[in-house]
Amino acid sequence: MSRRRKKLPQESITCEIESLSHEGRGVSQKDGKTLFVEGALPGETVTARYVNSRRSYDELAVEEVLTQHPQRIEPDCQFSKLCGGCSMQHVDLGFQINHKESVLLDHLRHFGDLKPEQVVPPLVGAGRGYRTKARLGVRYVAKRDEALVGFRERYSNFLTAIDECPILIESVGGRIPELKALIRSLSGYQRIPQIEVAAGDDVCALVIRHMDPLTEDDLQKLIAFSEQTGLAIYLQPKGPDTVAKLWPKDGQELLSYQLSDYDLTMQFHPMDFTQVNRDINRRMLAQALEWLQPQAGETILDLFCGLGNFTLPIARTAAHVVGVEGSEDMVRRGYANAELNGVSNVEFHAADLHLPLAPVNEAKHAWLRTYDKVLLDPPRSGAEELAKQMTRFGAKRIVYVSCNPATLARDAGILAAQGYKLIKAGVMDMFPHTAHVESMALFEKA
């Protein structure tokens, strides 16, 4: 059955904005229906046009701000009204992070019936050039005879025609026109759907997905681009395991970032998970270690450990650290990073941490044992199964790093029911100008 889209009212309307929704949209009411107004702030009067209509709410986008919030600013990005990459460019960073803190506290109260004993000050950093990891869409638009490179527009599947991206690492965000021209110059310019960006401290990589084989001429153009810009070029003809480095031909497939406070060099492949914002990552690690307080004689469990971003810093102090992660590739990367840095008091295991845990501590689940402390950093879906069984690890202290306050709050409620008290919580501005909320919570058992 085809569902016909409801016809939207064509005239713009005037809205009084009462509050801000969790994802950063102004909330208003009209004829008993809730309106979510993109780009509007509490206390403002705006004119807005309809972009979507649902049974219980309508979605609108600001056209004109008639009375403005004192923290409204001119967006740093000229494309912010159209581009779906950011949603909060119109308000200063202080307001953004305070809003994220209230989102966290609301969720904890709402879903977990919890209030942290202490709310710690947010970790904040630069609002520009912070993003070291991104998937850029590519699409050829015949009408413009141009290959667009960027993020999707809001409320559509089209790519936004951008010339720069201020939040992206400067070596890529400042080179969008060159990147568009490069793609357009390749023979298969209509069959290149995406470019992954992944930056280490010294080298930034572009992973170009191409559906058709590249010609010798294409390869020469890509190599010349790499030589001119210093960007490393990787090619991806099929799935993620087909990614191979084209240039520079230095035999170095991996990128790296330094964690100098712990005398660590962390290597990663451009397709690996890494924290998006390097500066906030370093400060997040410092805070996590301060809260966890690893001691010389302790054994610590690091769940969803990835390439060892928390595991290895903790291992600099603790007696032994066990990292558990879903991806076998990341387990290998964790071991490789441990070896590279001469860290021998760690072990890594692969396990699907969303499945119920084995009922008994069998030898084949060697990591299922007791620990002094636990750190966990799950994906957006959270760690419900683990939270339900947390007591089996016998830990006195848990540090939970979260990229989704809703699942953190749910899991915090489960932990609280097992006697873990929520001591502290706070937000970190890992993704300025977007509505993403990264946070950290400390739990302790008496």
* DSSP character at residue 262: G
Contact between 429 and ligand SAM by CB under 6 A: the answer reads no
Strand pairing of 373-376 and 397-402? parallel
Query: Looking at beta carbons only, is 211 or 358 nearer to ligand SAM?
Result: 358
Q: Are strands 420-428 and 373-376 parallel, antiparallel or unpaired?
A: unpaired
Terminal C-alpha separation, the chain: 57
Residue range at the interface with ligand SAM (CB under 6 A); choices 125-133, 199-207, 219-227, 350-358? 350-358
Q: How many residues bind ligand SAM (CB under 6 A)?
A: 20
Provide Rg for the chain, Cα atoms.
Answer: 24
Instruction: Tell me the sheet residues that pair with 266.
Output: 257
Q: How far is the CB of 72 from ligand SAM (least distance, A)?
A: 32
Catalytic (active site) residue 165: no
Q: Which of 164, 326, 349, 424 binds ligand SAM (CB under 6 A)?
A: 326
User: Which of 44, 372, 377, 438 touches ligand SAM (CB under 6 A)?
Assistant: 377
Contact 440, 425 (CB under 8 A): yes
Shortest Å, Cβ 279 to ligand SAM: 14
Tell me the two tokens of residue 427.
Answer: 């937000």
Which residue's CB is nearer to ligand SAM, number 175 or number 436? 436
243 Cβ contact list (under 8 Å, min separation 6): 207, 234, 235, 236, 269, 270, 271
Neighbouring C-alpha atoms within 13 Å toward the C-beta of 13 = 18
Helix-, strand-, coil-residue percentages of the chain, each rounded to 5:
25, 30, 45
Q: Which of 190, 258, 299, 327 forms a contact with ligand SAM (CB under 6 A)? A: 327
Identified binder of ligand SAM from the candidate list 79, 95, 304, 443, rule CB under 6 A? 304
The window from 76-84, 121-129, 253-261, 300-308 that contacts ligand SAM (CB under 6 A) reads 300-308
* Of 391, 387, 389, 420, the residue nearest 402 (C-alpha): 387
310 binds ligand SAM (CB under 6 A): yes
Closest approach, Cβ 361 to ligand SAM, in A, equals: 18
Closer to ligand SAM by Cβ: residue 140 or 273: 273
| Beta strand spans in 110-150 (E) | 118-119, 133-141, 146-150
Distance CA(5)–CA(10), nearest Å, equals 14
Using CB under 6 A as the binding rule, whether residue 229 contacts ligand SAM is answered as no
Residue whose CB is less far from ligand SAM, 246 or 271: 271
- Residue 405 CB, nearest distance to ligand SAM (Å)? 14
- Residue 335 engages ligand SAM in binding (rule: CB under 6 A): no
Minimum Å distance from CB 305 to ligand SAM?
5
Query: Concatenated DSSP letters for 202-222?
Result: S-EEEEEE-SSPPPHHHHHHH
354 touching ligand SAM, by CB under 6 A: yes
Residues 270-289 that bind ligand SAM (CB under 6 A): 273-275
Active site amino acids: 403
Residues in the site for ligand SAM, rule: CB under 6 A? Answer: 273-275, 304-307, 309-310, 325-327, 330, 352-354, 377-379, 403
